[in-house]
């Protein structure tokens, strides 16, 4: 397939450059520096890290979303020739400069508008920011088609499925199975879950990730969001999407075809593998990750998810079935509930309960454009905040 790209030197924007995925991406870029021209690097408030990365990678523009940090960013980059900007509008403008590849790695629905701006430029969008696709669903996939953009999944499960599908006919797919580590509380009782602390929730056994996705992994909302993400990326029908718990996080997902063949993608629990797959696509690139040593790992195990203790996957499946605005409501309510849990305002087990309560009370009509989604997201956040503040 030809994208008309020069695969020897390409331009790249990293939205969310200071985060876990952003750092892993730039680690790979650092190792193949000559092959990349950096257009934009962005962050929210971590101005020191952004300035450091900008000095190293020399982007055209560095954007700090929180406007209070612009003077500090300007001072830090004075004399470098790197443009500086701040605020949500500047994030969108930076994404709209266009790049051969845009790595969308902002956390939460905050990444939606910049990702849509990048999509409108028609390049490759390497998507880590699952909340954007969950919230925007068909509005985003329609924009991808309209603007001739290419959406490559960076989420390890979806990247695995993308690799296992390798252009196959979706009509030949019997099942797509998303694997889930089960998170740090996989074997905890309900009583123990109710007392789980933020520090315990962010301590993931296999992956090193940002705080929000770590909590999502502990509640299993991460897998619920991924189910909705998969529903949009690989439209085989919700009844063909399954989740299985695989504590070792070595098999990143699987596709079973109608002839009985199952293809799985395996690899270490290191985001640099799926990021490299998206950055180099349709080729391959080196990563510094250790080779997979299955003899040392010894055992790969699988089990059914427990939706009694972890209702998030059931709630997300129902939201995906309802479609329209409902996944955006789910996502917004979850973002607020996770922030409230991390702030010590609500208990771990209240996260799913609050999400379910917001979904039960708020069912707006389907969105038709970005501004509809942002309105729905905003209203769902207000309702979720009222619940968490009253908790």
Among 38, 106, 151, 332, binds ligand NDP (CB under 6 A): 106
Q: What Cα–Cα distance (Å) separates residue 116 from each residue in 15, 158, 230, 252, 351?
A: 12, 19, 18, 27, 28
List all residues 6 or more positions away from 306 whose beta carbon is below 8 Å from its beta carbon: none
CB closer to ligand NDP, 17 vs 356? 17
Minimum gap (Å) between residue 259 Cβ and ligand NDP: 31
* Of residues 266, 244, 263, 242, the one with CA closest to residue 176: 242
CB closer to ligand NDP, 280 vs 338? 338
Minimum gap (Å) between residue 213 Cβ and ligand NDP: 4
- What DSSP string runs through 330-355? HHHHHHHHHHHHHTTSS-TTHHHHHH
- β-sheet bridge partners, residue 341: none
Among 10, 12, 13, 19, binds ligand NDP (CB under 6 A): 19
Q: Residue 281 and residue 289: Cα distance in Å, rounded?
A: 18
Binding mask 120-149 for ligand NDP (x = CB under 6 A): --------xxxx------------------
Stretch that binds ligand NDP, among 10-18, 234-242, 311-319, 352-360 (CB under 6 A): 10-18
Q: Residue 300 and residue 83: Cα distance in Å, rounded?
A: 49
Residues 57-86 that bind ligand NDP (CB under 6 A): 65
Q: Would the CA dihedral through 151, 156, 157, 161 be positive or negative?
A: positive
Q: Are 121 and 96 in contact (CB under 8 A)?
A: yes
20 binds ligand NDP (CB under 6 A): yes
List all residues 6 or more positions away from 361 whose beta carbon is below 8 Å from its beta carbon: 383
Stretch that binds ligand NDP, among 194-202, 203-211, 252-260, 293-301 (CB under 6 A): 203-211
Q: Residue 157 and residue 71: Cα distance in Å, rounded?
A: 40
CB closer to ligand NDP, 109 vs 193? 109
207 binds ligand NDP (CB under 6 A): yes
Residue with tokens 């009782």: 189
Q: Could you tell me how many residues of this chain bind ligand NDP (CB under 6 A)?
A: 28
CB closer to ligand NDP, 35 vs 46? 46
CB closer to ligand NDP, 256 vs 273? 273
Minimum gap (Å) between residue 2 Cβ and ligand NDP: 29
Q: Residues in the site for ligand NDP, rule: CB under 6 A? A: 16-22, 43-46, 65, 91, 105-107, 110, 128-131, 155, 207, 209-210, 212-213, 271
């Amino acid at each position: 397939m030809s994208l008309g790209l020069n695969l020897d030197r390409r331009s790249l924007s990293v939205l969310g450059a200071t985060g876990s995925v952003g750092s892993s991406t730039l680690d790979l870029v650092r190792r193949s520096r000559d092959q990349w021209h950096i257009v934009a690097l962005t962050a929210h408030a971590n101005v020191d890290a952004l300035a450091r990365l900008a000095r190293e990678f020399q982007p055209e523009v560095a954007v700090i979303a929180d406007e209070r940090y612009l003077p500090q960013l300007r001072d830090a980059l004075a004399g470098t020739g790197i443009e500086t900007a701040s605020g949500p509008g500047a994030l969108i403008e930076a994404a709209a400069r266009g790049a051969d590849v845009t790595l969308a790695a902002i956390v939460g629905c905050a990444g939606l508008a910049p990702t849509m701006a990048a999509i409108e430029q028609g390049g490759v969008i390497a998507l880590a920011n699952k909340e954007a696709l969950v919230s925007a669903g068909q509005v985003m996939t329609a924009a991808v088609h309209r603007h001739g953009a290419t959406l490559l999944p960076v989420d390890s499960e979806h990247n695995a499925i993308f690799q296992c599908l390798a252009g196959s006919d979706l009509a030949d797919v019997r099942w797509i199975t998303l694997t889930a580590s089960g998170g740090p509380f996989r074997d905890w009782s309900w009583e123990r879950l109710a007392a789980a602390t933020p520090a315990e929730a962010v301590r993931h056994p296999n992956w090193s990730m940002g705080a929000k996705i770590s909590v999502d992994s502990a509640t299993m909302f991460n897998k619920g969001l991924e189910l909705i993400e998969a529903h949009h990326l690989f439209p085989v029908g919700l009844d063909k999407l399954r989740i299985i718990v695989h504590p070792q996080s070595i098999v990143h997902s699987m596709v079973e075809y109608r002839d009985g063949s199952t293809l799985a993608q395996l690899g270490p629990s290191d985001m640099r593998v799926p990021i490299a797959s998206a950055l180099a696509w349709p080729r391959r690139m080196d990563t510094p990750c250790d080779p997979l040593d299955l003899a040392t790992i010894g055992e790969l195990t699988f089990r059914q998810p427990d939706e009694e203790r972890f209702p998030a996957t059931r709630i997300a499946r129902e939201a995906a079935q309802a479609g329209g605005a409902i996944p955006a409501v789910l996502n917004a309510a979850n973002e607020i509930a996770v922030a409230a849990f991390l702030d010590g305002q609500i208990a771990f087990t209240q996260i799913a309960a609050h999400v379910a309560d917001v979904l039960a009370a708020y069912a707006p009509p389907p969105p038709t454009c970005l501004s509809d989604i942002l309105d729905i997201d905003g209203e769902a956040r207000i309702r979720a905040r009222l619940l968490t503040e009253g908790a």
